[in-house]
Amino acid sequence: MASQSFGDIEWPPLLWCAIMLGVFPLGLALVLLLALLRWVLVVLSCGRLRWGADRTRVLKQTVWRQKEPRQEHILVVLMYGYSHTRQTLDPIIRAIEEDKGQTRSSGGQQGSAHVDVDILVPGLPATPLDSILGTNWFGPCGVFSVTHPDTILEAMHREVVKAVDKGEYTKLVLVGHSIGAVLVRNLYLKLHDDDGSSRARTFCGEKSELAANGAPHSDSAARPPLDVRLVLLSGTNRGFAFGNGVRSLSSNLVLNAILAGLLPYTRILVGLIETLARRPVFFISHFRRGSVYICKSRLKWLEMARPDVKRTRGSPDSPRPPRPEKPTRPPPFVVQLAGSNDNAASPQDDIDLLVLDAERPGPASEDRFVYRTILGSDHESVLDVSDADKKFGKVRREAVLSALFEPPETLVALDETKLIASTEELSNRSKLRQNVEKGKHVVFVLHGIRDYGFWTSKLARSIQKSVWDAEKNKSTSEELDQKWHFRAMGTAYGYFGALPFLLAWDRQTKVEWFMDEYVTARAEFPHADFHFVGHSNATYIAARALAEYDCCEFERVVFAGSVVETTYPWEKVLETQPGHQKPQVGCVLNYVATADWIVATFPKAFERLCGCFGLGLGGGGSDGFSDLTDRLLEAGESALHPKDEPGGNPAFPDGSSYQVKYIVGGHGAGVQDINWRAIANFVTGTTAADPKTESPGPTALLVEKQGLGFRVWNCGIGIVVTWTALAAVAAAPIGISIWRMVVTGELVWLWTSLIWSWVITVFQVATRF
């Protein structure tokens, strides 16, 4: 066996091959191992919030004392963002102190009105390791933090309630930067839902329970209610996403990207950790756009802004409860300040805040949300009000101080939402108000893997036509357009390859994307019933959304070519669970095909081999679900009308949940055009009133059983044959090349290049196939 020479050194072929093939993977593995060890160190040594609980707490008072009584006493609560500490807020604290607490008149000039301002930065822990290293990596909001946001929220809540109970405040201002804006918004919601045991509940304009029951009231119960204001500095209200400049969240770009799972290679480690843990592990992971924490926070905010939208599930046209003349609790006044060069927080992220005005069709002077742009500022520099560069510091200082202390009517006059022409949600408040009043049904139509989803808009039009045919004598086309809203999401969803589909973290990314769209639709159509039609990977998205997000609800669900596990707990989502007023899903229809080779070969393999890991993949499209009732029809029956009902009622009675066994065809049989009318009838709960109006053409056929060949393949043989062949095709060239190099020792550079070229080719094909 020949050796390879490099200079004067003779390299054995096997060692040479190991070096050539292993340098890059070993280097990458070393980097990932170091990141994992550092994370383990955090968990073991200082992952608990109890460390140094009061170390960073600061309560500064800026007092402008005079002999005359005070007119205002304001508590300003400041919260920093990801990987920051309270020191990043020092420029704003100094600006407030230098302002001497003087209020401003409606004209924007400083007046003589007397105020006292107390500044509170809630006490959060400082870990011993940070104290030694002089960093902020391991604290609650640090780069390597594994603290849950609710733990931080509890600490903030205790500090604020303690301060409010001790001080005679007339106004509460909650200020948050970046993801700190999400925390202060959740802090407001937590105070909003307080049990009344302290004065925290009275800031909403309600009396405490002691005073309401006639008990001797304390000083806190006798004080007037607080005026509450939220000031969000570049707030990422919908969470962050890699596509909207997440690199701007902090200056620690590499470390942040590693733990947030944003870089192509390191996200694999984060994805593996969180897949095995079955939950977000790192602090920053909870703030990804579409995460469980962000979605629940957004929906809770919408419930606060719209106390009349809660209702039990009924028929599609059941009347809504009468809307109260005024909300039981007044909403806060919210100001969003965003840098003109901010790439992390988009104006479109503020649709939840715009809801504060959508249901209050009064004059603009009564708006509760104001959006302002700060020139010369990005996501980080919006905090720099020191004017060190002698350029935009004064602009930032004036914008921040006015947001803190100016009267609402002055700030409303400076609102810029109507000037943002590129942002549909913010530039047209009247449209949002119309949706709030008239939207009753929202239908999501979503495609699967290896598909661009052009058919989704066509299926949506078919459902729309079904509605017109059923109600053309009752409503005009304009009224139906306002009543039914369709979201065919082929363009937004994009192409999803086979290899990303096999990776749990990539599938989870699509689930979070969908839930972000879902919550945004809830903000736009608060009174609507939501429906879902999905094919292939879209069925996985909906199933995981229902399992992981108890706030996700649908009236009617249609699955075709499902890749969900056959043991999916449909009984749980179809029944009302404790603590809920209604089930998550009204009724379900699942199509099982006669020859779905794709589902029987790939997703079903994960259910058979890796079912214990709870990956959620399985043969729902080839075998059906164990929790759903089978509907076995005779051969030749159409999916639209059974033989004994030649044009009367649809095959699917209203309110039933079951699966059709079997629809003739392969993986896409359920969403073929000949089956669109049947899907439309199920989603809308309508029938064709007159058989003559039935659109001509063939309909999908249903049969009693699958073919023998497919049943043999589906029993497990297909899994073994296909995966063995794929492994051989992928690994054989590599094995042959290594064998040639080891045995002959010739052309090592050429064979190594060929190996890496083959690996890259297989990867590219797998990601696009």
Going along the chain from its start, the domains and CATH numbers come out as: 1-46+729-769 (no CATH), 58-242+283-311+326-429 (3.40.50.1820), 439-702 (3.40.50.1820)
Q: Considering only 220-234, 502-516, 671-685, which range has the smallest mean pLDDT?
A: 220-234
What is the Cα–Cα distance from 580 to 585, expressed in whole angstroms? Answer: 12
Task: Identify the pLDDT of residue 115.
Answer: 73
Structure tokens at 517: 């769209």
The pTM assigned to this predicted structure is: 0.78
Task: Identify the pLDDT of residue 734.
Answer: 65
Average pLDDT for 662-691: 78
Long-range contacts made by residues 184-188, C-beta under 8 angstroms, separation at least 24? 184/77, 184/79, 184/156, 184/230, 184/232, 185/230, 185/232, 185/235, 185/237, 185/297, 185/301, 186/149, 186/153, 186/297, 186/300, 187/77, 187/79, 187/153, 187/156, 187/157, 187/160, 188/228, 188/230, 188/332
- Helix (H) / strand (E) element for 500: namely helix 498-502
Give CA angle at 201 (195, 203), nearest 5°.
170
The answer on pLDDT for 76 being more than 90 is: yes
Q: Hey, how many other C-beta atoms are within 10 angstroms of the C-beta on 444?
A: 24
What is the Cα–Cα distance from 470 to 686, expressed in whole angstroms? Answer: 6
Q: 445 and 460 in contact (C-beta within 8 Å)? A: yes
Q: 618 and 607 in contact (C-beta within 8 Å)? A: yes
Phi-psi category of 165—alpha, beta or left, where left has phi over 0 and alpha has psi -120 to 50? alpha
The answer on pLDDT for 564 being more than 90 is: yes
Among candidates 735, 724, 740, which has minimal Cα distance to 758? 735
Which sign does the torsion angle of CA 377, 378, 383, 387 carry? negative
3-state secondary structure of 461: helix
Average pLDDT, the chain: 71
What is the Cα–Cα distance from 305 to 730, expressed in whole angstroms? Answer: 55
Average pLDDT for 667-682: 88
Task: Identify the pLDDT of residue 340.
Answer: 86
List b or e across 234-246, with b for residues whose CB sees 16 or more CB atoms inside 10 angstroms.
Answer: bbbbbbbbbebbb
Helices (H), 359-483: 393-405, 408-412, 424-427, 429-438, 455-471, 477-483
The answer on pLDDT for 293 being more than 90 is: yes
What is the Cα–Cα distance from 567 to 608, expressed in whole angstroms? Answer: 12
What is the Cα–Cα distance from 759 to 753, expressed in whole angstroms? Answer: 10
The answer on pLDDT for 261 being more than 60 is: no
What is the Cα–Cα distance from 750 to 738, expressed in whole angstroms? Answer: 11
CA of residue 587 relative to chain centroid, distance = 24
Residue 4 neighbours by CB under 8 Å, 6+ apart: 10, 11, 13, 16, 745, 748
Tally of residues, the chain: 769
User: Which residue would you say has higher pLDDT here, 510 or 451?
Assistant: 510
- Helix (H) / strand (E) element for 712: namely helix 708-712
Q: Quick one: what percent of the chain has pLDDT higher than 70?
A: 55
Q: Hey, what amino acid is at 708?
A: L
User: Which residue would you say has higher pLDDT here, 183 or 600?
Assistant: 183
